[in-house]
Amino acid sequence: MEKVVLVKYSEIGLKGKNRREFEDILISNIKRSTGWLVLWRWGRILINVDWENEDISKLSKIFGVQNYSAAYMTRADLSEIEEASLVMSSMEVEKGMKTFKVHAKRAQTDFPYGTYDVNKLIGAEILRSFPTLSVDVHDPDFVLNIEIKENEAYVYSRKIKGPGGLPVGTGGKAILLLSGGIDSPVSGWYAMKRGVSITALSFTSPPYTGKESEDKLIDLMKKLKEYSGGRDLPLYLCPLTPVLEFLKDSAPKKLLLVLQRRSMMRIAEKLAKKVKASAVYTGECVGQVASQTLENISVIESAVSLPVIRPLAGFDKIEIVDKAREIGTYEISIRPQVDVCSLFVPKRPATKANLETVVDVEREFSDKLLKAEEESYAMIKKVVF
Ligand code: ATP
Ligand code: MG
């Protein structure tokens, strides 16, 4: 018998070509993130890995994985299945388990025993070998699963929950507006959860922001990379100083924030064209922060024609913080930093900016604002993780 890991994925709603693509991309993401030998068999992903000596919990970070199990693969032969079942049960006994049931499944094969017989025969053998165990068919401490196929069988007891979602790479590409804050990395995680490949864009403001800001962004990217299915995760760093300084000297104070944000959006759209991304993700959450009232969201978004997706729109702050902790970005996000957007912004920015006023103000700048944006864009720097 051989140690393998069985990976189950949810194929609900996936048909024909989509399903094939989902499987191919999931397999290549697992290969890339782990370096293991991954095969597709019986509508299931099978990994050749010694799960006793290797860390299979990596699979908990690969989107598309519904659950996975450390299993023994044997030939479709009752005595081999029995041997694997006893080894598996001994591991459960060592963990203190007291009750069990056997759950056999079989494909259409010429295997000489039905599932009822397999349950009974293997169950009896387990009881004989482990006097501390007893059968409980309703609420057992562990279920010994046996899956019998044409030529082989799988024996496993635990299903470890995966992250669900869709494999990164099945959902196209988007720009993630990544600040050093708590929210935007979580938004990026949700983008990837639905299969979207992200290209991050962060605005810095040298000399007001320094190396700590960049280091923080780099650490956030490294953390997000753990969930990218082994795919490249590019980060573009864009110094926004020319835009910020132009606006500081020329714009009405109350409107600074929305004007800065509109510039960010236009630069994001430019980058999206270059890297062929078709949406922008932000960490915005509908609420009372000045930049995040529905009025301001609408004024900011109307600067661009790309769809802006806000996975956190309906979250409470505490829910975002919990998620950030769970995915490991929180501790990085709370490191102190200079917030680019509040550098020159007054304490009370407009919370209900009016689109016509904002467009009029931008028109008065003629092409000076666009020039400043071009200057910022020209200094963009790419780092790949
Ligand atoms: P976060 O915790 O993500 O910083 P926030 O609650 O501080 O969010 P805002 O400061 O209003 O909210 O920012 C809203 C969104 O705008 C951010 O989630 C991010 O997507 C984007 N954003 C803000 N600042 C930057 C920046 N310097 N570079 C790139 N994107 C930014
Ligand atoms: Mg912020």
Q: Which atom of ligand 1 is nearest to the CA of 185?
A: 3
Helix residue spans in 35-109 (DSSP H) = 78-94
In sequence order, the 6+-apart residues with CB closer than 8 A to the CB of 168 are 25, 29, 63, 192, 195, 196, 197, 227, 228, 229, 231
Complete domains list, the chain, with CATH = 2-161 (3.30.2130.30), 173-384 (3.40.50.620)
Judge if the beta carbon of residue 209 lies within 6 A of ligand 1.
no
Provide the pLDDT for residue 262.
Answer: 96
Ligand nearest to the CA of 179: 1
Q: Closest residue (by CA) to atom 25 of ligand 1?
A: 179
Report the share of the chain in percent with pLDDT over 90. Answer: 82
Looking at this protein, which amino acid is placed at residue 291?
A: S
Q: Rounded to the nearest whole angstrom, what is the distance from the C-alpha of residue 357 to the centroid of ligand 2?
A: 25
Provide the pLDDT for residue 19.
Answer: 82
Residues for the chain: how many in total?
A: 385
Mean of pLDDT values over 235-259: 94
Query: 261: part of which helix (H) or strand (E)?
Result: helix 256-275
Q: Closest residue (by CA) to atom 22 of ligand 1?
A: 179
Beta bridge partners of residue 176, listed in sequence order: 200, 281
Q: Rounded to the nearest whole angstrom, what is the distance from the C-alpha of residue 184 to the centroid of ligand 1?
A: 6
Provide the pLDDT for residue 43.
Answer: 72
The best mutation among 176, 178, 179 to test binding of ligand 1, ranked by most ligand atoms within 8 Å of the C-beta, falls on: 179
| Neighbour count for residue 129 (Cβ, 10 Å) | 14
**Mean of per-residue pLDDT scores for the chain:** 93
Judge if the beta carbon of residue 179 lies within 6 A of ligand 1.
yes
Provide the pLDDT for residue 12.
Answer: 63
- DSSP structure class, residue 102: E
Contact present, 184 and 223 (Cβ < 8 Å): no
Provide the pLDDT for residue 276.
Answer: 98
Looking at this protein, which amino acid is placed at residue 179?
A: S
- Tokens for 297? 């969201």
The best mutation among 175, 176, 177, 221 to test binding of ligand 1, ranked by most ligand atoms within 8 Å of the C-beta, falls on: 177
Does the structure show a pLDDT above 80 at 289? Answer: no
Q: Rounded to the nearest whole angstrom, what is the distance from the C-alpha of residue 376 to the centroid of ligand 2?
A: 20
User: What's the angle, vertex CA 97, arms to CA 103 and CA 90, rounded to 5?
Assistant: 75
pLDDT single digits (tens) 200-234 = 999 999 998 888 899 999 999 999 999 999 999 99
Report the share of the chain in percent with pLDDT over 70. Answer: 98
Judge if the beta carbon of residue 236 lies within 6 A of ligand 1.
no
Sign of the CA dihedral 371, 373, 379, 382? negative
Contact present, 137 and 181 (Cβ < 8 Å): no
Q: Rounded to the nearest whole angstrom, what is the distance from the C-alpha of residue 8 to the centroid of ligand 1?
A: 36
pTM (whole model) above 0.85: yes
Contact present, 147 and 154 (Cβ < 8 Å): yes
Beta bridge partners of residue 99, listed in sequence order: 134
Provide the pLDDT for residue 201.
Answer: 98
Provide the pLDDT for residue 62.
Answer: 96
Contact present, 174 and 199 (Cβ < 8 Å): yes
41 band by pLDDT with thresholds 50, 70 and 90: confident
In sequence order, the 6+-apart residues with CB closer than 8 A to the CB of 161 are 60, 67
Residue 25 to residue 156: CA distance in whole angstroms: 26
Least confident of 85-99, 188-202, 280-294: 280-294
Mean of pLDDT values over 183-210: 95
Residue 48 to residue 30: CA distance in whole angstroms: 12
Judge if the beta carbon of residue 349 lies within 6 A of ligand 1.
no
- DSSP structure class, residue 194: B
123 band by pLDDT with thresholds 50, 70 and 90: very high
- Tokens for 172? 């196209």
Q: Closest residue (by CA) to atom 31 of ligand 1?
A: 179
Provide the pLDDT for residue 17.
Answer: 74
110 band by pLDDT with thresholds 50, 70 and 90: confident
Q: Rounded to the nearest whole angstrom, what is the distance from the C-alpha of residue 210 to the centroid of ligand 1?
A: 18
- The full DSSP string for 269-331 is HHHHHHHT---EE----SSSSGGGSHHHHHHHHTT-SS-EE-TTTT--HHHHHHHHHHHT-HH
- Residue 368, classed as helix, strand or coil, is helix
Q: Which of 81, 107, 4 is nearest to 48 (CA)?
A: 4
Contact present, 87 and 111 (Cβ < 8 Å): no
Q: Closest residue (by CA) to atom 17 of ligand 1?
A: 283
Provide the pLDDT for residue 344.
Answer: 79
Provide the pLDDT for residue 21.
Answer: 86
- Please tell me which of 9-23, 34-48, 367-381 the model is most confident about, judged by mean pLDDT: 367-381
Beta bridge partners of residue 202, listed in sequence order: 237
Ligand nearest to the CA of 216: 1
Q: Rounded to the nearest whole angstrom, what is the distance from the C-alpha of residue 368 to the centroid of ligand 2?
A: 27
Q: Rounded to the nearest whole angstrom, what is the distance from the C-alpha of residue 151 to the centroid of ligand 1?
A: 55
User: What's the angle, vertex CA 308, arms to CA 238 and CA 327, rounded to 5?
Assistant: 75
pLDDT single digits (tens) 6-25 = 999 876 667 777 888 889 99
5 band by pLDDT with thresholds 50, 70 and 90: very high
| Neighbour count for residue 235 (Cβ, 10 Å) | 23
The best mutation among 182, 183, 203, 241 to test binding of ligand 1, ranked by most ligand atoms within 8 Å of the C-beta, falls on: 183
pLDDT single digits (tens) 54-87 = 999 999 999 999 999 999 999 999 999 999 999 9
Q: Rounded to the nearest whole angstrom, what is the distance from the C-alpha of residue 179 to the centroid of ligand 2?
A: 6
Does the structure show a pLDDT above 80 at 51? Answer: yes
pLDDT single digits (tens) 317-356 = 999 999 999 999 999 999 988 777 777 777 777 788 889 8
Judge if the beta carbon of residue 85 lies within 6 A of ligand 1.
no
